[in-house]
Structure 1
Amino acid sequence: MTDTVTPDAGTWRHLLGARHLGASTVLAGGVLLYATNEFLTISLLPSAVAEIGGHRFYAWVTTVYLVASVVAATTVHSTLMRLGPRRAYLLGLTVFGAGSLLCALAPSMEVMLAGRTVQGFAGGMLAGLGYAVINTALPNTLWTKASALVSAMWGVGTVIGPAAGGLFAQFGHWRWAFGILVVLAVAMAALVPVALPARATTSTAPPGIPVASLTLLGAAAMAISVAGIPHDLRATAALLVLGVALAVGFVFVDRRTRASVLPPSTFGPGPLKWIYLSLGVLMAATMVVMYVPLFGQRLAHLTPVAAGFFGSVLSVGWTAGEIVSASLQNRRVIARSVAFAPLVMATGLAAGALLIRDGMAPWLVATWAVALVLSGAGIGIAWPHLSAWAMGSVDDPAEGPAAAAAINTVQLISGALGAGLAGVVVNLSVAGDAVAARGLFAAFAVLAALGALATFRSAPRARVSAAQHAT
């Protein structure tokens, strides 16, 4: 085994050439729609809450979206086998459009939460289909580039989403932002029949739906989210302990059930468990961005549109880091880059915690933006390689599609847990927005740093697996 990628490894030109352009466009577009919606809503929330109320449920708007996404993501493999790519995408886009319309018309926070739940279910299916089809429709030499393209849509979506949301909020038309999502869902549905085949590429019997695992996962995410609502510290602590216990119960049940969320190789001696854990910790740490537009308005006194743009800064770093990292060819450099990526992210978040204060001067706002870019670069450096390693680290090749779909499941449930944790940290503070913001960034800096324990375990073994698949 050498340290350089072999000449036949896939290139960007190969991925985006005539042969694979249609599939690449649909896969990237579905994830872009999902990501744009998630982060668009984040920048709309201050205006929406001001009109329809529900401040204590601020974090729930993201949490229910992500929990519903997890439920849908775990059914992606089964849905794909039963309906085929074309009908699966059309189903997801139809439901997504319906949920967006419900949000656009919401008269109260309760209705908004219902619409976000419907949106999340459909969005989780769209995002999961993107990763699943990478494994089944593209050659393994393109997995890293395709993973980078699909996951880069999260970065692009978090640039477009907060900025567009802030623009609509600035002019008092936050409901119209959800109306635009309805239009985009319709446009995407028109493209699907042209770009995707009607049938699945395999005749394997569809797997069952992991009901027990899903129940425990959803309950864990909701317990952590609810923990941010009570004013009683003891109730908050009890709910956090319950959430952790349910997460541990999920691992215990999932490794013993026939219909599972994670592929069986996750619980074997290989690196897959460390790869998924790395992806999960990094994704959870990014949920600090939920409160960036809010603190941008309250602490830096930015306008809604400026705060919306500011909320996308972390994503700029994510996308830039991802594009550069996906182009690396030396396997030793790749392994080391991924291993240290969580520490890069933790450095950016820690710098953010030190910079935040009431009445931030322009130079402090600019420096805070640099810290957010650095935070995003950390996850961008690691993500495409961890995704490709996950697809190539299964013991049984037949687990490949399940391993690919599980990437999105891990991403979504980690985002839900991170969103709930962010709500807990912010709501626990009674000393003002600046103290809450510093606590949030500091807590998530520690979380990101802990991710290095997983990336250092996943990189060496995963590097060998990736090398075998690249030759």
Structure 2
Amino acid sequence: MTEPLREPTAPETGSWRELFGRGNAGTVFVLAGGVLVYAMNSFLTAALLPGMIDDLGGRQYFAWVVTVFLVAAVLASMLVARLLGTFGAARAYLVAYSVFAFGALTTAISPNMETLLATRVLQGLGCGLLVGLGFAVIKSALPERLWTRATGVTSGMWGVGVLIGPVFGGLFAQFGMWRIAYLSFFVFAVALGLLAIRALPSGRVVHGSTSPLPVWSLAIVVLATVAFSSASIVPTGVLTAAGMGAGALLLVLFVVVERRSVNAVLPRIAYLRGNPLKWIYLTLAILSSGAMIDIYLPYFALELAGLSPLISGLFGGAIAIGWSVSQVYSAGLDAPRSQRIATVLGAVLMAVGLLAYTLTQRDGEWWIALLWLLPLIVIGAGIGLAFPHLSAAALRSTDDPEEGAKAAAGVSTVELVANAIASALVGVLVAVGGPVAASSATVMGGGITLLGLVGVATAVLAIRPRARA
């Protein structure tokens, strides 16, 4: 039954000291560490991949190293609620870290590229679970007064990963130590898995889902991810359009199946008229998509401004800097009105930053790249302002335990699907822009700017008074 729409009341206020205090610090490190593993893994692998191919061969599999990881991560993220319902928080985290650790270890000892692709599937499964758990366990492991700060720290790990992932990747790549890099991931994951057993008591009750698997929903969204990802790695033209079109149709089919299904991936309230959860999810997806332009930032810094590979690589961290700094500030906002303002302002700032970045794309001297820094930081600041409040709003969207677990896990599912689709989209936009770097950068920026403007509208809809089911 759905209650009438009502204005949210201010939750009891927590503090950063309480969040990182003795009783909660271990939990926060486990949750945030899982998201950091995913974020660092993505950028570290991008830096290491050329060296891996030199050693193992299989250059034809270059794009699939990323694609199989993304597809596996999306699939795993949709199993989080069920994993929690079966094992509880501590053992669920142990499973997730163990799967990733085994994937990292087998990657480190892979004898050829075919084997490495299989190990990337394991890494993707582990990372998808870790990101999903990072948001889902907040609801049951921490008091509600700490949810906004906890989601701020957890989602802020994306920015940290973007910032330090390329640095560590570059260092390991410089010395041809890609196997050592994955062994380091193995050790890190094992340590966090052991910490999870200590920080999350096995007796903690977690309201997860024990209903039958939503097989059709899972299959459709995985196929959609494959379609979008394939569109970015085939020759530009009919095949690209077919891949994007098929992906879009499959997403529509996913919504149709979800609305009619008894066992769905997302909570049923996401499809109720008058409930803003659907807009919360869409805004989160668009914010995540805006950050995906950082995939090509080093390339354009190299081609348009003539910067060195090392300096060009650092441009990928500009968005992360804005994201991380603004998120620390925004997560400390406790008044509901301030949170609503931050949500809409964040979407506006991201759109404005994307537009400014697009308008400054031209060939020039090294100083032209300096004009990009402020827009890129503004993009990140916008994402950081809005993200923690949208994530916390999803957690508070329902009082039903099982639906709440789905709503929390849905944050990571939406984010991972958006990342997969947006990474394909920016690749397609760059290809459509043609061989001239300035044109490619402008088309990419313009396309994502339009998406950012849609995000402003969904952010306004997301802050409406919500009905709690």
Asked if Structure 1 and Structure 2 have the same fold, meaning a TM-score greater than 0.5 normalized by the shorter chain, the answer is: yes
**1:207 CA drift (Å):** 2.8
Match of 2:321 in 1: 316
Match of 2:155 in 1: 151
Change (3 A) 1:369 1:115: farther
Q: Which amino acid aligns with 2:145?
A: T
Secondary structure at the residue paired with 1:312? helix
Count of aligned positions: 463
Q: Structure 1: how far apart are the matches of 2:214 and 2:103?
A: 24
Match of 1:85 in 2: 89
In terms of mean alpha carbon deviation, does 406-415 or 333-342 score higher? 333-342
**1:281 CA drift (Å):** 1.3
**1:200 CA drift (Å):** 4.6
Residue 35 of structure 1 contacts residue 157 of structure 1 at CA under 8 Å; is this kept in 2?
yes
Q: Structure 2: how far apart are the matches of 1:52 and 1:354?
A: 41
Q: Structure 2: how far apart are the matches of 1:232 and 1:149?
A: 39
Task: Please tell me whether residue 374 in structure 1 is matched to residue 375 in structure 2.
Answer: no
Secondary structure at the residue paired with 1:311? helix
Q: Which amino acid aligns with 1:293?
A: P
**1:251 CA drift (Å):** 0.5
18, 24, 30: which one pairs with 2:28?
Answer: 24
Structure 2 gaps of 5+ residues are: 1-5
Residue 74 of structure 1 contacts residue 210 of structure 1 at CA under 8 Å; is this kept in 2?
no
Q: CA offsets, 1:272-299, max 9 Å, x none?
A: 1110111111112211112223334444
Q: Structure 1: how far apart are the matches of 2:113 and 2:312?
A: 22
Change (3 A) 1:348 1:49: farther
Q: Structure 1: how far apart are the matches of 2:395 and 2:238?
A: 42
Task: Please tell me whether residue 257 in structure 1 is matched to residue 274 in structure 2.
Answer: no
Secondary structure at the residue paired with 2:232? coil
Match of 1:41 in 2: 45
Task: Please tell me whether residue 434 in structure 1 is matched to residue 427 in structure 2.
Answer: no
**1:395 CA drift (Å):** 6.3
Q: Structure 1: how far apart are the matches of 2:176 and 2:303?
A: 18
Percent sequence identity over aligned pairs: 41
Q: Structure 1: how far apart are the matches of 2:423 and 2:170?
A: 20
Q: Which amino acid aligns with 1:31?
A: V
Task: Please tell me whether residue 405 in structure 1 is matched to residue 409 in structure 2.
Answer: yes
RMSD, aligned CA = 2.7
What are the within-5 Å matches in structure 2 for residues 54-453 of structure 1?
Answer: 60-106=64-110, 110-202=114-206, 206-231=210-235, 233-269=237-273, 270-358=275-363, 360-394=364-398, 396-453=400-457
**1:110 CA drift (Å):** 4.6
Q: CA offsets, 1:333-373, max 9 Å, x none?
A: 32123123222112222222233344x53322232222211
Match of 2:3 in 1: none
Scaled by the length of structure 2, what TM-score is found?
0.90
Residue 216 of structure 1 contacts residue 246 of structure 1 at CA under 8 Å; is this kept in 2?
yes
Residue 103 of structure 1 contacts residue 178 of structure 1 at CA under 8 Å; is this kept in 2?
yes
Q: Structure 2: how far apart are the matches of 1:415 and 1:303?
A: 28
Residue 208 of structure 2 contacts residue 402 of structure 2 at CA under 8 Å; is this kept in 1?
no
Q: CA offsets, 1:447-466, max 9 Å, x none?
A: 1221112111011225x97x
Change (3 A) 1:361 1:41: farther
Change (3 A) 1:204 1:391: closer
Change (3 A) 1:370 1:45: farther
Residue 101 of structure 1 contacts residue 182 of structure 1 at CA under 8 Å; is this kept in 2?
yes
Scaled by the length of structure 1, what TM-score is found?
0.90
Change (3 A) 1:113 1:375: farther
Residue 62 of structure 1 contacts residue 416 of structure 1 at CA under 8 Å; is this kept in 2?
no
**1:248 CA drift (Å):** 0.2
Residue 430 of structure 2 contacts residue 444 of structure 2 at CA under 8 Å; is this kept in 1?
yes
In terms of mean alpha carbon deviation, does 34-43 or 408-417 score higher? 34-43
Q: Structure 1: how far apart are the matches of 2:439 and 2:55?
A: 26
Structure 1 gaps of 5+ residues are: 466-471
Residue 43 of structure 1 contacts residue 308 of structure 1 at CA under 8 Å; is this kept in 2?
no
Secondary structure at the residue paired with 1:461? coil
Change (3 A) 1:304 1:98: farther
Q: Structure 1: how far apart are the matches of 2:235 and 2:432?
A: 8
Q: Which amino acid aligns with 1:249?
A: L
**1:382 CA drift (Å):** 0.6
Residue 166 of structure 1 contacts residue 309 of structure 1 at CA under 8 Å; is this kept in 2?
no
Change (3 A) 1:49 1:301: farther
Match of 2:19 in 1: 15
Change (3 A) 1:177 1:240: same
Match of 1:468 in 2: none
Q: Structure 2: how far apart are the matches of 1:291 and 1:104?
A: 27
